[in-house]
Amino acid sequence: MLIVDAHIHIWNKGLPRPAHRQSPYSADQVLVDMAKAQIDAAIIQPPAWDSDANQIAIAAAKLYPQRFGILGNFSLQVPNGIEVLHQWKKQSGMLGLRYILNDPLHAQFFSGTELDWLWRTAEELNIPIALASSNHLSLLEIIAKRFPKLRLIIDHLGVPLDAKGECAFLHLPELISLSQYPNIAIKATAVPAYAIDHYPYLAIEPFVEKIFQAFGPNRFFWGSDITKLQCTWLECVELFTVQYQWLSSSDKDLVMGKALCNWLDWKISG
């Protein structure tokens, strides 16, 4: 089974959020840890706290093209955004984009036309976009409808920042409603971080299963966000491959990596 982590961070400098590991995490360190957990590849999301994070990710993907892909970012305020998009996937390992659009002011990015250049051009160029926008979940419907061929990914099961236990899944009706749009997928990432009980986090398992049943194995991607977890990487893998009995063998093949690679059009061996 191909195992691809949908969400990791690497960085050299800067101050991470308190929930994350506080020391830098390099690509070489990641590879050592991935080997211990029997993970084949991972998608790097350059973190906001390191201004060089995009270039660090590109360097890693250039060295290890079968191990690292990237959902990168650039400033949405640049005057030549459309030109940037036309060159985006020419960079080593670059598979798409990822943005954190959670502030109240970001609501207009979904309900208005300010970012139409981004949505439209990404759709035309087949560039997937991952979004950490738990505060604006219901507004994603607008983009999904207006740009039906734009592949969107909701980060972290749509869980609000730092939410835990049942409170982490109060948004479930909104999230389930979005599953009706075939151009919306979801990352089942950082699941252990939402638990208030011990491994295997039985209290939140029903919520994870409901989301899986709504989106299905082709639009539900396992991942860790390992630098914010208290459990090991292997435990995070086995939470899905061993503990979640409601995942069939064919489901696991898709959820653990194949479906993500299909969504991002990433051709890797494994």
Please list the pLDDT of the chain residue by residue as tens digits (270 residues). 999 999 999 999 999 988 899 999 999 999 999 999 999 999 999 999 999 999 999 999 999 999 999 999 999 999 999 999 999 999 999 999 999 999 999 999 999 999 999 999 999 999 999 999 999 999 999 999 999 999 999 999 999 999 999 999 999 999 999 999 999 999 999 999 999 999 999 999 999 999 999 999 999 999 999 999 999 999 999 999 999 999 999 999 999 999 999 999 999 876
Neighbours of 234 (CB within 10 A): 14
- pTM exceeds cut of 0.95: yes
At the topology level, CATH places domain 4-264 in TIM Barrel (3.20.20)
At 241 the pLDDT is 99
41-44 and 68-72 strand pairing: parallel
Strands (E), 101-163: 129-132, 152-154
Task: Please tell me the distance from the alpha carbon of residue 96 to that of residue 101, in angstroms, as a whole number.
Answer: 16
The per-residue pLDDT of the chain, averaged, comes to: 97
- Cβ-based burial of 10 (10 A; exposed 0-12, middle 13-18, buried ≥19): buried
Tokens in use for 152? 């969107």
Specify whether the CB–CB gap between 225 and 260 falls below 8 A.
Answer: no
At 269 the pLDDT is 77
At 270 the pLDDT is 62
At 6 the pLDDT is 99
Is residue 227 helix, strand or coil?
A: helix
The region, left, alpha or beta by phi > 0 then psi within -120 to 50, assigned to residue 143 is alpha
At 19 the pLDDT is 87
